[in-house]
Chain A
Amino acid sequence: MSVAAPPLLDVEHLTMRFGGLVAIDALSFAAARGEITAIIGPNGAGKTTVFNCITGFYKPTSGRLLLALGDADAGEVAALTASGRRWRNTAKGQIFLLERMPDYEIVARAHVARTFQNIRLFPGMTVLENLIVAQHNPLMAASGWTVLGLFGARRYVEAEARAVERAQYWLDKVGLMERADDPAGDLPYGAQRRLEIARAMCTEPALLCLDEPAAGLNPRESADLTAFLKSIQVEHGTSILLIEHDMSVVMEISHRVVVLEYGQKIADGPPDQVRNDPRVIAAYLGVEDEEVEKVEAEIAR
């Protein structure tokens, strides 16, 4: 039996099929606690599908997605897997099998939050409201599932004030304090991206899954984003799982990079190692010119 604590997220043999199409094929990787893990790969490699499986939007065809808050030993993990249950308390924390949980429960209980490739804010609600909606579950409990809140219970009023405080903290972090009372749909593109991350952080996640957060940002905005993500990881101890095409962001902040191609993992390691991996260079950054010639010659033969 292994003695080492399990990583925060342990993906084992994750397979996702859509009819005859195998989007992800027996993918295994881990996201370490407190680190930034990047998933890269060419378009259509299955990166977003991995996210959708982790956050419960898709039910994986097979595989295990183990999330551990706190510590757990292999015996406890095996016991949970063998049982039909979705999570269990361990001696020093909780473990979850994400593939068994519906999407909202993954956020509420396992504390995995996500953002979307195409921004999904609530455009007709104000910036502040967006951040308050993100704190739905604690507020719902404080409002006595609406009954107490309807009569203005003190507990709810206080909880709401705390929620506003947390929202203000994140508004300050992403520099949107001035726009708190404006509709989210009115914000410029870069600000909407930042707001979406702030909104995800308001759910107090242990693992934050970001789907191309730098897409559509100019170099300056993307440098700001890099610093912001770094601060989330350092100051809040939130682990980050990142899909990104912007290599400057990926190489600068990630501790570990997983490379996908056609649903399969072709490399996994620290950025420097991945950067120099010939398979990655071939698959992701393109084949070198002389190799192209070689391949063409082979085809012609």
Chain B
Amino acid sequence: MAVDAAEPPRTALRPLAVLKDALGTALLALGLAVPILALRTEQNISNELILQPRWNYVAIAVLAAFMARLLYLLVPALPRRRKASRKAGPRVTGRAISVAGLVLLVAYPLLALALVGQGGAIKWIDNFGIQILIYIMLGWGLNIVVGLAGLLDLGYVAFYAVGAYSYALLATSDPVKAFMAEWLGPNFWPLWAFWICLPVAGLMAAFWGILLGFPVLRLRGDYLAIVTLAFGEIIRLVLINWVPVTNGYAGITSIPRPTFFGLPFNASDSGFAAFFGLPFTPLYRTIFLFYVILALALLTNWVTLRLRRLPVGRAWEALREDEIACRALGINTTNTKLTAFAIGAGFGGFAGSFFAARQGFISPESFTFMESAIVVAIVVLGGMGSQIGVAIAAIAMIGGTEILRELDWLKRVFGPDFEPTHYRMLLFGLAMVLLMIWRPRGLVAFRQPSIFLRERRAVRADMVREGHG
């Protein structure tokens, strides 16, 4: 398996060598920790800069490195033992996970409601459910570009931003409002803006995907990554500086919220709650938003799975494997790359317009490079090209960082000043490093063939290429 290929075969463990290795790592950690952690500058009451020694931090870091290395050297037997059981059939378990996951997702809002009651449920559905689903959708959208077509796009957030701003600008634009009020009555646009703008935002993002596609078509590898990264930054800078249109840093406020197909989620007599004779609570909107993003994410998944079995999807994967061979088989690689960019961008745009509708307020702050990096990390950790892997990675990464906010008991361990959320990025990086050690090709390290003659056998990751860029 891939794990074996990445690790040289280990002979019998020699305790002394292991200890020496671990001590070496500890020494390295010491060298790193002293300049970074040992001393901290603080101001005292008379505004003087004083040095605050923090040798206990250094000790913790060195000890942690020592233990981690020791553990890493002593546990390699683990993946090998797992091999036999995995051979039995990833297909069955894969399907079981998909079905179980789907059931869990559909039941999630009700489950949250039952477990933590109305007050807590909003937080759990919004912060965990909706937030994670947005990233799952972004991950699945980017998976088309990076995982299937093998084009490393580091500026995916640009399309997310295009979708969000398309919706926000269209829905709040005065001429559009006036036009709609004149032709369809004053109530039409506030109630239906979301449902009309959602596809428009997706198309707009897809259009920008094609626009970006043209200049980057000739580029490969690092060059492609850099140009897409720059594109993401350009979009963000335009959003910041084109103040008359985008309102700059201040962002766009009072974006119309989604309605239940024309029924607004408010306390009025024509609202959702009154219409169904229910007492008003903001919970309904949250639950509805959850199901909207769930439907959008599942649509992304369905389309991707479908496309993989169509010539265009197979051409994407072939492109990832060998572009020259594609050209020798009559595949127009230009168009193939453009469709990958456009479809991936389109889903990013859908997610963006949902994001704008959910927040009711957007500003360029939400579309920094960090977002692109997180989505790329989700795709890479998930296992490039694997839908279920991407979903699991999104849950782990986004859910993991959200859960840090809940870990108040850590304050009892580390003292009242300890803020778990500050260590978000540290844990993020740690998780990436660990995964790259144990599963260098992502969580799901095999590829499902799109068609088979007798038996669907997963292709091992070490066969599959990563694409040229």
Contacts and interface: CB of A to CB of B under 8 A. Distances in A.
Interface in B288-335: 303, 306-307, 310-312, 314-315, 317-318, 320-322, 324-333
Given A132-B314, A164-B451, A164-B453, A124 B329 contact: no
A136 B328 CA distance: 11
26 contacts: A57-B327, A104-B331, A104-B333, A106-B330, A107-B329, A116-B328, A120-B325, A121-B322, A122-B318, A122-B321, A122-B322, A123-B321, A123-B463, A124-B320, A124-B463, A124-B464, A129-B317, A133-B311, A136-B331, A140-B311, A140-B312, A143-B311, A146-B310, A181-B449, A183-B459, A186-B463
A181 B457 contact: yes
Interface in A108-146: 108, 113-116, 120-126, 128-129, 132-134, 136-137, 139-140, 143, 146
Contacts of B54: none
A76 interface: no
Contact of B457 (A57, A114, A156, A182): A182
B450 A134 contact: no
Nearest to B456: A181
A185 interface: yes
B91 interface: no
A211 B330 CA distance: 18
A300 interface: no
Interface string B425-469: 000000000000000000000010111111111011001110000
Interface string A133-163: 1101101100100100110000010001000
A180 interface: yes
Given A146-B310, A150-B307, A133 B329 contact: yes
Contacts of A57: 324, 327-328
Given A129-B314, A150-B303, A181-B455, A123 B330 contact: no
Contact of B329 (A134, A156, A164, A183): A134
Nearest to B452: A181
A168 interface: yes
B307 A137 contact: no
Interface residues of B, number: 39
The list of the 8 closest CB pairs from A to B, nearest first, reads A124-B464, A107-B330, A122-B321, A108-B330, A120-B325, A139-B311, A180-B453, A185-B463
A146 B312 contact: yes
Interface size class for chain A?
35 or more
A203 interface: yes
Listed residue (B312, B328, B450, B452) with the most chain A CB atoms within 10 angstroms of its CB? B328
B314 A133 contact: yes
Nearest to B461: A124
Contacts of A121: 321-322, 325
A265 interface: no
B332 A125 contact: no
Interface of A: 55-57, 103-108, 113-116, 120-126, 128-129, 132-134, 136-137, 139-140, 143, 146, 149-150, 156, 160, 164, 168, 180-183, 185-186, 199-200, 203
A185 B324 CA distance: 16
A149 B453 contact: no
A55 B328 contact: yes
Contacts of B449: 125-126, 128-129, 181
A189 to B, nearest CB: 15
B144 to A, nearest CB: 13
B211 to A, nearest CB: 20
A156 B85 CA distance: 38
B311 A136 contact: yes
Nearest to B315: A136
Given A122-B318, A136-B329, A139-B311, 9 more contacts: A57-B327, A103-B328, A104-B326, A120-B325, A123-B321, A124-B463, A128-B453, A168-B453, A183-B464
A113 B321 CA distance: 19
Contacts of B312: 140, 143, 146
A123 B465 contact: yes
Contacts of A120: 322, 324-325, 328
B376 to A, nearest CB: 20
A125 B330 contact: no
A28 to B, nearest CB: 25
Contact of A132 (B324, B451, B459, B464): B451
B330 A203 contact: yes
Contacts of A143: 310-312
A44 B379 CA distance: 44
A143 B314 CA distance: 13
Contact of B307 (A123, A139, A146): A146
A56 B328 CA distance: 9
Interface string B367-378: 000000000000
Given A57-B327, A180-B454, A125 B459 contact: yes
A156 B330 CA distance: 19
B322 A114 contact: no
